[in-house]
Amino acid sequence: MAFDQLSDRLQMALRRVRGKGRLTEADIESMMREIRLSLLEADVNFKVVKEFTNQIKEEALGDHILKGLNPSQQVIKVVNDALVDLLGKDTSVFALKQTGTTHILLAGLQGSGKTTSAGKLAKYIEKTHQKKVLLVALDVYRPAAIDQLVTLGKQLGVAVFELGTEEKPVSIAKKAMAFAQTEGFEVLIFDTAGRLHIDEAMVDEIKQIKATVKPDETFLVLDAMTGQDAVSVAEHFHKNLVLTGSILTKLDGDTRGGAALSLRKVTQVPIKFMGTGEKLDALEVFHPERMASRILGMGDVMTLIDKVTENVSEDDMMNLMEKMMSGKYNYEDFLKQMKMIKRMGSLGGLMKLIPGASKMMGKQDIDDKKLTTLEAIIQSMTKAERKNPALIKQNSGRRRRIASGSGRSVAEINRLIDTLEQQTQAMKRLSNVDPNTINPNNPMAALGQAPQKKQKKGKGKNRGGFRP
């Protein structure tokens, strides 16, 4: 999926407008259409899309946008900000009771990832809150569902309470609570059977479970790939269970995840966590900003540009950017950056965050293995070498040592050296670019074009090509 889908579209819509200096209502209208289509392609529910575009239209028509020199980017900013707002501006805190047991109930459709999320959540809570967690197996219907939870528990070293498939879920829940009391468990996570939101008997059952366990948190677990139906699913579960939050799963896929918006809009409760991989620690606190750019199909690059132009530097990413632009970027930062990317999941789009990196990979596919290779190389460097890239560049002995240490060829080490240089240079130039002069046709040009080796000789020419 093209990472700059929406910006392409907006530029198309703006082609007629360019040079006019300001936008007419008709221009805004045609841009709204593009935004609408883009959101629909991201699976945001069509009713939510309608409301949303109406809302931002007002904003986009406001004075501040008309004065802008680069309407396309500013419209994207308005849209992005509105999306972030809607998704929940600040990451909501996940609080556990200080005294007594905290009960967490998980609900959702079949196959949404409840059992896996239950396991991941248990691990997260043990790790970040140092609480003793008990997983409770209430799915007595799907064959081997209890097995799955028991196995997960073993892998995680988390206790699992189960009474087989003969007993009723409500009674299992009761016994689990009594057991937790005597054994001193502090957090109980109840994993329920997947059920259709329109299956009355099953919805009644989970309502009874809820009445029994009186959960402090009731989470809907929703597959991020869900389409238009997310609204109906969220509505029904919320109506029947009064949710306190949700977990969005399978975000390590390449879905744009518009369901998040539908979910949030309908329930108004925060999305608390997101599942980002098969590994059992692949559960992260939800990031509205990341989700917004993803829904817009722009990757995080847009957020980055946004932040660069606004000189905001808050998170990790921004610190890195600053470092890059200051020219003090080194292998340690590179490593950090790769770790960040690994954490974030989808590589294809994210690779574009690292100017030059996709070039180095050439036409080959970018996958986790390649990153591992690069990591291995960097880890074979000494601390001093990581901090001071010049050491390696100037000494072929060091390069050979690193090559043999990481089991890679010297050529690969050289390629990594080039990449680091390209990145540093690209970022330096970006820091010199006035945001207002970024070519609206190709705002990414400022980031994406890494200098070719040849250009080392012809700096003047290179510079001219860079400024539109």
Partner 1 sequence: MMGFFKALFQTKQQKKQAQKYRIGMAKARDSVFGELAQMLKNNRLDEAFFEALEELFIFADMGVDTALTLVSDLREKLPKQGLQDADELKEKIVETLFDHYVKDDVVDTNLYLKGAPSVFLFVGVNGVGKTTTIGKVAKQLSDQGKKVMLVAGDTFRAGAIHQLSIWAQRTGSAFYAKDEGSDPSSVMFEAIAKAKLEGIDVLLCDTAGRLQNKKNLMEELAKMRRVIEREIEGAPHETLLVLDATTGQNGLSQAKIFDEVTNLTGLILTKLDGSAKGGIALAIKDQFDIPIKLVGLGEKVDDLIYFDIEDYIYALLADVF
Q: Which is nearer to partner 1, 183 or 200 (CB)?
A: 200
What minimum distance in Å lies between the beta carbon of 292 and partner 1?
17
What minimum distance in Å lies between the beta carbon of 456 and partner 1?
34
* Residue 188 · residue 221 · CB < 8 Å: no
Q: Which of 18, 12, 16 is nearest to 33 (CA)?
A: 12
In the list 74, 208, 232, 380, the residue contacting partner 1 (rule: CB under 8 A) is 232
Q: Which is nearer to partner 1, 167 or 229 (CB)?
A: 229
Q: Which is nearer to partner 1, 197 or 408 (CB)?
A: 197
Structure tokens at 288: 């509205």
State which of positions 83-112 bind partner 1 (CB under 8 A).
Answer: 109-112
In the list 120, 123, 238, 256, the residue contacting partner 1 (rule: CB under 8 A) is 256
What minimum distance in Å lies between the beta carbon of 467 and partner 1?
36
In the list 9, 120, 197, 272, the residue contacting partner 1 (rule: CB under 8 A) is 197
CA 57, 58, 59, 62 dihedral sign is positive
State which of positions 146-185 bind partner 1 (CB under 8 A).
Answer: 146-152, 155
Q: Token pair 């501006």 is at which residue?
A: 89
Give the C-alpha separation, 429 to 447, whole Å.
9
Q: Is 453 in the site for partner 1 (CB under 8 A)?
A: no
Give the C-alpha separation, 185 to 423, whole Å.
50
Q: Which is nearer to partner 1, 189 or 305 (CB)?
A: 189
What minimum distance in Å lies between the beta carbon of 69 and partner 1?
31
Helix (H, G, I), strand (E, B) or coil at 161: strand
Q: Is 42 in the site for partner 1 (CB under 8 A)?
A: yes
Q: Is 51 in the site for partner 1 (CB under 8 A)?
A: no
Structure tokens at 289: 């900003």
Give the C-alpha separation, 399 to 371, whole Å.
19
Q: Is 348 in the site for partner 1 (CB under 8 A)?
A: yes
**Paired strand residues for 187:** 102, 133
Q: Is 373 in the site for partner 1 (CB under 8 A)?
A: no
Q: Is 437 in the site for partner 1 (CB under 8 A)?
A: no
Q: Which of 452, 380, 449, 377 is nearest to 411 (CA)?
A: 377
Torsion angles phi and psi, residue 185, rounded to 5 = -80, 145
Among the candidate windows 285-293, 363-371, 403-411, 430-438, which touches partner 1 by CB under 8 A?
A: 363-371
Give the C-alpha separation, 256 to 251, whole Å.
9
In the list 71, 88, 245, 258, the residue contacting partner 1 (rule: CB under 8 A) is 258
What minimum distance in Å lies between the beta carbon of 252 and partner 1?
6
What's the one-letter identity of residue 406?
S
In the list 126, 167, 254, 375, the residue contacting partner 1 (rule: CB under 8 A) is 254
Structure tokens at 80: 């992005």
19: left (phi over 0), alpha (psi -120 to 50) or beta: left
Kind and range of the H or E run holding 369:
helix 368-379
Cross-sheet strand order for the sheet of 159-161: 159-161, 133-137, 187-191, 102-108, 217-223, 245-249, 271-275, 283-285
Would you give the binding string for partner 1 spanning residues 265-284, x where CB under 8 A is met? -------------x------
What minimum distance in Å lies between the beta carbon of 328 and partner 1?
34
State which of positions 381-420 bind partner 1 (CB under 8 A).
Answer: none
Contacts with partner 1 by CB under 8 A lie at 1, 37, 40-43, 45-47, 109-113, 142-152, 155, 196-198, 223, 225-230, 232-233, 250, 252-256, 258-259, 278, 346, 348, 365, 367-369
